[in-house]
Amino acid sequence: MFDVIIIGAGLSGAVLAERFASQQNKKILLIERRRHVAGNCYDEVDENGILIHKYGPHLFHTDFEDVWKYLSQFTEWDVYQHRVCAMIDGQPVPIPFNFNTIQKVFPKNLADRLENALLQSFDYGQKVPILELKKSADEDLRFLADYVYEKVFLHYTEKQWGQTPDQIAGAVTARVPIYIGRDDRYFNDRFQAVPKKGYTALVKNMLTHKNIKLLLNTDFHEAVGFHGREMYLFGQKFMGRIIYTGQLDEFFRNKFGSLPYRSLEMKFETVDAEHFQESATVNYPNNYDFTRITEFKNIHPTKSPRTTILREYPQNYVAGINLPYYPVFNDEAKEAYEKYSAEIAKYARIKPVGRLAEYRYYDMDDVVKRALEVYSEMSS
Ligand code: UDP
């Protein structure tokens, strides 16, 4: 009855369901544990009439033209350039740390000297990871690096990851580099926008094909069973393929132990004022238990007398208690993941895809890119 079972109706699952249904006329069973589609980019209009991102701020940005074109079939966009400030010594300053930030936090003479020092060592427009800047031979640059490390990265990262920037993979802090120039935007990608009617509407549009049967509120273990390498759907032998987008440890009922993730507690609050803050997101590297506050009205402009804000409180992930937002990139975790990865590779008809199943810090565009790639691989 079904050709492909897809587990998880987040972005990876939606792209693959849509492709197999629309391009190959395959019959798809899409199984989702939650009561809704769109995974962690799920959004909904709240009691203040504001479109909020239930699982934290999701800002679409990409340099992949194919990804942009692909998604544009399912949504119109509102052009949106994300801007973030970090609260440093009581003052909001633009992040990524750039020349404007330097001018805001240092006296003019020193700021000009630091700008010059940066331009001696780097190209205009270059992005320099903090850990790289710290290795600089130039004394002024090392002073700047120590300042940014202490004020922006150290305490934020300790909160977010429970570790210092030096303890986690360099690629994580490199996501928010020092920017050599005056561009205040959080991302520099060619395409930056939010779906006009939100991510949930976008994903729902992807899943309208008549060949896609969606099963919400269903843990895949309730529907899919294994006996050796044989697969069963509701007790019937299943000869098709399975695309799995959940956690690999859960797939194998944790037989090699749990994979570590970082989680967040999302605390939404209605503020009885038209506006709360100037930028969409303000990071609080220091002094508070939360890492950042997002005001959704600044992402999806809405006229309303109140405003909705979100504070994110990082936590350890505990299965059944909170959600696995971020894979943790230490050697032990990688080793555990490799074990699971080798195990699932033994199943020729099962393909793990996406941020959870591949244990990668994918952004939304990476997820779509990867799902399109997997679709091509599976079609050849
Ligand atoms: N980061 C930081 N201070 C900041 C912003 C980011 O230390 O003000 C570090 C932190 O380790 C964080 C990482 O950079 O986890 C990536 O930040 P990003 O904003 O990309 O995280 P996401 O939006 O994916 O949670």
Please, are residues 343 and 233 in contact by the beta-carbon 8 Å criterion? no
Q: Is 290 helix (H, G, I), strand (E, B) or coil?
A: coil
Q: Does 294 contact ligand 1 (Cβ within 6 A)?
A: no
User: What are the E-state strand segments in 202-278?
Assistant: 212-215, 224-227, 230-233, 236-237, 241-244, 261-271
Distance (Å) from CA 106 to ligand 1 centroid: 23
Whether residue 37 is predicted with pLDDT greater than 90 in this model: the reply is yes
Q: Whose CA is nearest to atom 7 of ligand 1?
A: 153
Please, are residues 245 and 6 in contact by the beta-carbon 8 Å criterion? yes
Q: Say what the pTM is.
A: 0.97
φ, ψ for residue 243, nearest 5 deg: -110, 125
For residues 234-249, give the mean pLDDT. Answer: 97
Whether residue 107 is predicted with pLDDT greater than 90 in this model: the reply is yes
Q: Does 149 contact ligand 1 (Cβ within 6 A)?
A: no
Q: Does 291 contact ligand 1 (Cβ within 6 A)?
A: no
Q: Whose CA is nearest to atom 3 of ligand 1?
A: 153
Distance (Å) from CA 174 to ligand 1 centroid: 9
**Rounded CA gap, 78 and 76, in Å?**
7
Whether residue 9 is predicted with pLDDT greater than 90 in this model: the reply is yes
Ligand 1 atom at minimum distance from 361 CA: 24
Question: To test ligand 1's pocket by mutation, which of 147, 157, 176 has the most ligand atoms within 8 angstroms of CB?
Answer: 176
Distance (Å) from CA 67 to ligand 1 centroid: 24
Tokens 């529907």 correspond to what residue? 223
Q: Does 325 contact ligand 1 (Cβ within 6 A)?
A: no
Q: Whose CA is nearest to atom 13 of ligand 1?
A: 173
Question: To test ligand 1's pocket by mutation, which of 58, 148, 156, 290 has the most ligand atoms within 8 angstroms of CB?
Answer: 156
Candidates 260, 242, 258; CA nearest to 344 is: 242
Share of the chain above pLDDT 90, in %: 97
For residues 206-211, give the mean pLDDT. Answer: 98
Q: Does 281 contact ligand 1 (Cβ within 6 A)?
A: no
User: pLDDT tens for residues 292-315?
Assistant: 999 999 999 999 999 999 999 999
Please, are residues 282 and 92 in contact by the beta-carbon 8 Å criterion? yes
For residues 103-120, give the mean pLDDT. Answer: 98
Q: Which residues contact 139 (CB under 8 A, 6 or more apart)?
A: none
**Rounded CA gap, 225 and 208, in Å?**
27
For residues 6-19, give the mean pLDDT. Answer: 98
User: pLDDT tens for residues 258-297?
Assistant: 999 999 999 999 999 999 999 999 999 999 999 999 999 9
User: pLDDT tens for residues 148-203?
Assistant: 999 999 999 999 999 999 999 999 999 999 999 999 999 999 999 999 999 999 99
> Does residue 96 have a cis peptide bond before it, meaning omega lies within 30 degrees of 0?
yes
| pLDDT recorded at residue 229 | 86
Q: Does 279 contact ligand 1 (Cβ within 6 A)?
A: no
**Rounded CA gap, 284 and 264, in Å?**
15
Candidates 117, 17, 50; CA nearest to 372 is: 17
For residues 352-380, give the mean pLDDT. Answer: 97
Mean pLDDT score of the chain: 97
Q: Does 307 contact ligand 1 (Cβ within 6 A)?
A: no
Whether residue 380 is predicted with pLDDT greater than 90 in this model: the reply is no
Q: Is 120 helix (H, G, I), strand (E, B) or coil?
A: helix
For residues 226-246, give the mean pLDDT. Answer: 96
| pLDDT recorded at residue 228 | 87
pLDDT band at residue 348 under the 50/70/90 scheme? very high
Please, are residues 353 and 370 in contact by the beta-carbon 8 Å criterion? yes
Ligand 1 atom at minimum distance from 154 CA: 7
* CA 302 to each of CA 49, 77, 196, 277, 310: distance values in angstroms, whole numbers, following the listed order: 8, 16, 12, 15, 16
Please, are residues 245 and 12 in contact by the beta-carbon 8 Å criterion? yes
For residues 366-375, give the mean pLDDT. Answer: 98
| pLDDT recorded at residue 331 | 85
Q: Whose CA is nearest to atom 10 of ligand 1?
A: 157
Whether residue 330 is predicted with pLDDT greater than 90 in this model: the reply is no
Distance (Å) from CA 176 to ligand 1 centroid: 6
**Rounded CA gap, 167 and 157, in Å?**
10
Q: Is 170 helix (H, G, I), strand (E, B) or coil?
A: helix
Please, are residues 310 and 294 in contact by the beta-carbon 8 Å criterion? yes
| Tally of CA atoms within 13 A in the half-sphere of 25 that contains its CB | 0
**Rounded CA gap, 43 and 200, in Å?**
6
φ, ψ for residue 27, nearest 5 deg: -95, 125
Q: Does 153 contact ligand 1 (Cβ within 6 A)?
A: yes
